[in-house]
Structure 1
């Protein structure tokens, strides 16, 4: 971290070495398949520019974003020969910009396909496209009848080069769920009706379902960032983030003192309190009854999480805290999945909500504080 630690309220540390290590583990599992990287939502909140630069240096050549804006930002960082797929397709009126930036839309409807085909005709160039098939999630993708129309009329792909045929698993985080094999089988059947092209089905959890789900391109996202892709067993991925917050006030209160909004917490003994500069405006879940760690020792939250602050019970600390000290919230003793469990949500939501008010500290290849 650069600068005086007392000048910042909270610090999010992103371990780029750990992100790269996670990608390499998945790439090794991929065997002959390519391991891509899903860096949508600003790399799940960790910083797509920093993460993608580190992954590209490690050998990753294919990236997925959700929106075209994310793709344009990524293009300013990545080499031209790295592929960027836009999962939500080309926004109306921006087809030429996508083509000029060498961004490949993932087509989900016949209407999307017609628009991209028209763009190819207008530019006189053969444009890359990815086709997403709905294999049983009913969220995005070409329906089976759409696939049959494309199979029956080769003109629907005129001027286009199909770079990828893909689908998405709905239940990959449930190892034995019958929908996994049903989707794999449906995907096999539908893609056989289309021109021969590389295929992609496995997300983070899908990578661990076996070689039959790997096809040609893996699309891990959450696993890259340390979220457990195998909730049925221990986490094989390295943790990638740390979060620290500064103590902005300490005080001693008497037994019977009510703490925080709604006076939902009342201490039953004389208590040492510490208030830290972090709250739900920073993306910390309001309903996560978690703990912080002071010099490795857990200290519980007291009362409700506020917009900009949380109160901690420091009474049992071996070393008493001082104003200006930092406590850890994401650390070896408490990871993203732990917080998600406490908040009744998933690690994806926790990471992607972490606020922009944090000082960002990137460690590892090319890492610099920001």
Structure 2
């Protein structure tokens, strides 16, 4: 993970780290200090509660809260030295009245996502308004709609709109590039904001993944059995053995964040052999076909994320994205940190 951050930071701008969702399921208490040791000094999370947790792990870092300023939350932000990313006039005025320019904040410009942030015309109208200085704005940021698709015309429109706003706010730092945006020409400004790529996700999905894998998910085989042709497996008997088969049951399931949607579509590796997931993923158990895996036995390890099963591959098998797989990693897993 630290190597991924250093690689991205080498692309020509100061590099922050987005560690929302408990550092994409990896644990901000361990991830934050590791990134700090690598040289990262600015961090972003989504919620105020996440900022409080990040502050406990990162006592000296600049920590921004992406989802804005909840009403009445100024004193909590100040108590934990957190910086709101302000996205409306109401938020700007509330923070300005509280901080009086003495506490920093970021200004969120909506260049096309239509979720949070000031629309470009409103941001241009506010340029030079005394409330901006009173709110302590030290950073402009926006978020790409489709940075993982370099040819999408929306990227060029967002880059141009962000440039217009940036020109209206001289002297402020600017941040536009998320993980995929780091690889877009014209998107790298003063501060990069990678998140998913730090944890091994592919920021350039139409080409080879430039990032190193970070997360590996393993589970022990609880039981191995042989079934005859015609035997059904799991809830509702959704898979029937076409021939005599060896089955292995793993002690994890959708309660651990391994999605039920991967039922009948995904694989695990046992001794390096791909073994299909059979039937429905249960709350606490998964069944594999290990007929072709001689290493399968009680207590052996099955790999569900890792080696050829990278996080994006697992996401596609579940009909979703690797982000959802990572952030769904449950609390019942034992997390072991290496490196």
- Normalised by the length of structure 2, the TM-score is 0.96
Structure 2: segments with no counterpart, 5+ residues: none
Q: Is it true that 1:25 corresponds to 2:7 in the alignment?
A: yes
Corresponding residue of 2:181: 206
RMSD of aligned residue pairs (Cα, Å): 1.3
Corresponding residue of 1:313: 289
Higher relative contact order (CA 8 A, sep 6+): 1
Instruction: Pick the aligned partner of 2:145 from 162, 165, 170.
Output: 170
Corresponding residue of 1:57: 37
Instruction: Pick the aligned partner of 1:76 from 41, 56, 65.
Output: 56
Residue 172 of structure 1, CA deviation: 0.1
Matched residues in 2 for 1:67 and 1:299: separation? 39
Change (3 A) 1:173 1:126: same
- What secondary structure sits across from 1:360 in the alignment? coil
- What secondary structure sits across from 1:363 in the alignment? coil
Residue 195 of structure 1, CA deviation: 4.5
Corresponding residue of 2:299: 324
1:323-360 Cα shifts (integer Å, max 9, x gaps)? 22221111212111011111111111110011111011
Corresponding residue of 2:14: 34
The answer to whether the 8 Å contact 1:228/1:236 transfers is yes
Residue 166 of structure 1, CA deviation: 0.6
Matched residues in 2 for 1:149 and 1:184: separation? 19
Corresponding residue of 1:12: none
1:264-304 Cα shifts (integer Å, max 9, x gaps)? 11101111111111111111111211111111111111111
Equivalent runs, 1:201-350 vs 2, <5 Å: 201-210=176-185, 212-288=186-262, 289-319=265-295, 321-350=296-325
Corresponding residue of 1:119: 98
Change (3 A) 1:237 1:213: same
Matched residues in 2 for 1:138 and 1:277: separation? 42
1:80-128 Cα shifts (integer Å, max 9, x gaps)? 2x2100001222222012123221100000000011011114xxx6110
Residue 158 of structure 1, CA deviation: 4.3
Corresponding residue of 2:28: 48
Residue 144 of structure 1, CA deviation: 2.6
Q: Is it true that 1:91 corresponds to 2:78 in the alignment?
A: no
Matched residues in 2 for 1:255 and 1:232: separation? 41
Matched residues in 1 for 2:132 and 2:288: separation? 60
The answer to whether the 8 Å contact 2:93/2:135 transfers is no
Residue 258 of structure 1, CA deviation: 0.7
Matched residues in 1 for 2:241 and 2:177: separation? 49
Matched residues in 1 for 2:124 and 2:280: separation? 55
- Normalised by the length of structure 1, the TM-score is 0.88
Matched residues in 1 for 2:131 and 2:114: separation? 23
The answer to whether the 8 Å contact 1:175/1:232 transfers is no
The answer to whether the 8 Å contact 1:171/1:180 transfers is yes
- What secondary structure sits across from 1:318 in the alignment? coil
Residue 51 of structure 1, CA deviation: 0.8
Q: Is it true that 1:197 corresponds to 2:179 in the alignment?
A: no
